[in-house]
Amino acid sequence: MQAKASSSEQDGRSFIENARRAQIVRAALDTIAELGFAKASFAKIAKRAGLSSTGMISYHFDGKGDLVAEAMRDVLAAAAAAMGPRIRAETGGPARLRAYIEANIAFIAERPTDMKALLEILRNNAGEPAWFLQSISLLEEAFREGQRAGEFGEFDPRVMAIAVRQAIDGIHALLAAEPRTDTAAYAQQVVRIFALATARS
C-alpha cells in the first residue's frame, strides 16, 4: 500500500492544508490509542490537536469514518515502508520468513501507539477479520512457494501462517502488560520456533 501524496500538485491541497490534516490524524491516533475508538470523539481529538473547535476537523474530513480511514492508511503505509524493503532484501523462503517476523515485531515496538490505535480501528469498523485474512493469505502463499521450491518442509501452509501471525500479534498484549519487554529477544525466539517448525526434515 502506498502512502497518500502530500504534494499540492498531486492532491490539490496546499502545504498548510496537508500539515493540518497530518496534525489531526496524529491527534486521532493518539486519542484512539488512549481512550479507545468509541470514546475518541471529535471534541477530544480537537483538544489534543490544539484546535479551537471541531469545525476544523469537519472541514478536512467527512465524518469520523473518513478520519479513521485516513489514520489507518497512514499507519499501514508506514508499516509497508518500514518492513517491505527489509523483507525484499532477503533471498529464499526461510530468510524472508525471518525478516518478516523481525520487521513486524520491530515496527510494533517502535510505534506501539499507532499499532494500538490501528487495532482499535479495525475491531470497531468490522475490518479486523478482512485484514487478518489478507495478512495470512500472503503468508500462506509464501509458504506454498517455499514448499514448491523445496525450502520448507511438509506442513499446512494456512495453519502455519495463522500461527506466525498470532505469535507476532501476541506482542501487543505483552507490551501492554509489560512495557519493558525485550522485543528483540522475543523476535529471536519466534524466529527460532518457526525456523524449526518449517524446516525440511
> Final residue of a domain: which of 71, 102, 123?
71
Residues 107 and 66 grouped into a single domain: no
Judgement on whether residues 131 and 64 belong to the same structural domain of the protein: no
Q: CA distances (Å), 1 to each of 42, 77, 84, 92, in order?
A: 27, 6, 10, 23
Half-sphere exposure in the Cβ direction for 103 (13 Å, CA): 19
Residue 38 lies in a domain: yes
Look at the chain and report how many structural domains it folds into. Answer: 2
Confidence of residue 7 (pLDDT cuts 50, 70, 90): very low
- The answer on pLDDT for 134 being more than 60 is yes
Residue-averaged pLDDT of the chain: 90
Average pLDDT over residues 10-17: 71
* Full-model pTM: 0.83
Share of the chain above pLDDT 90, in %: 76
At residue 4, the pLDDT reads: 40
64-96: per-residue pLDDT in tens? 999 999 999 999 999 999 999 999 999 999 999
Average the pLDDT over 49-53 and give the result. 92
* Domain of 67, in residue numbers: 1-71
Over residues 168-194, the pLDDT tens digits come to 999 988 888 898 999 999 999 999 999
139 and 66 co-located in one domain: no
The answer to whether residues 109 and 11 belong to one domain is: no
99 & 193 share domain: yes
Q: What pLDDT, on the 0 to 100 scale, is given for residue 35?
A: 95
Q: Do residues 60 and 94 share a domain?
A: no
